[in-house]
Structure 1
Amino acid sequence: MSSSYGTEELWHLTHGMRRLVLTESARDAQRIQVVEEELAIARRKIDNIDHQLYAHDLQLRKGRDVRVVPLPSRGGVRTRQRGSGLRTRGGSTSRRGRGTGDNSE
Structure 2
Amino acid sequence: MPHFVYNLDGTSSRKCQCSVTPKTWLGHWERGTGLALPVKCVAKYCGNVTEVGAHVRDDDDKRIVWIVPFCQYHNKRPSSEPIELKDAVTLCGGSMTIDCA
Structure number with bigger Rg: 1
Q: Which has the higher strand share?
A: 2
Question: TM-score of the superposition, structure 2-length normalised?
Answer: 0.18
- Bigger helix fraction: 1
* TM-score, reference length from structure 1: 0.18
Q: Which has the higher contact order (CA 8 A, sep 6+)?
A: 2
